[in-house]
Structure 1
Amino acid sequence: ADMLLESITSCNCSMCYRLGALWAYYTVDQVDIKVKSEATVYLWGSKVRSYHSCTFCGCTTHYTQKRDDGTNRVAINARMAAPEIFKSVNVRFFDGADTFKYVEK
């Protein structure tokens, strides 16, 4: 079944800013990611978040993260989907570079 999203997130941290990603968040049991080619994985810092990128085109498709509450999150890069899929979904802005809080635009 398709899952309707209330929002997708634009983050300005050093990684997300460079990727230009819009993140749709799920738990690991809500998604099944299938890839046609190899993926590269990038980790840094505390290594709790793994960014997955296509080795063919270089695009970052998603990241996985072990959260502080013990849950496993999967963030899908909505920019990899057709624009009409997310055109009516609200974009929230997250200040990952400074306050680590959602901000009103």
Structure 2
Amino acid sequence: MKFFLVFVLSIAVILGIITFQNDTEISVKFIKWSFSGHIAIVLAVSFAVGLLGGISLLVPPWWKKAKTARTYKKRIHELEEEKASVDSDEKPKENAESEETAEKAEDINKP
């Protein structure tokens, strides 16, 4: 959160400096579309469009990886629960077997 705040403030300061230093009006033409405005506004809009374009390219793979990770975590949790139930079922059997062995040993030791 602190990094994000510092990042946003630094971008705002940089845009402020550019705005005060470059008060020139420029014209941007793209196919049939034309826009006239201050260079700082054009740069800020260009930066924002590039940032949104980059984010739109990075988010879908990130969502896919997050979904896969959630699926794996859920499967791990299920397997751990299954292992715990198997372990709890085996413990009474082990105790019963050891008691039977102890009884047999006592029977053998009786004269």
Fold conserved (TM > 0.5)?
no
Instruction: Calculate the TM-score normalised by the size of structure 1.
Output: 0.19
Q: Which has the larger share of helix?
A: 2
Structure number with the bigger relative contact order (C-alpha 8 A, sep ≥ 6) is 1
TM-score between the two structures when normalised by the length of structure 2: 0.19
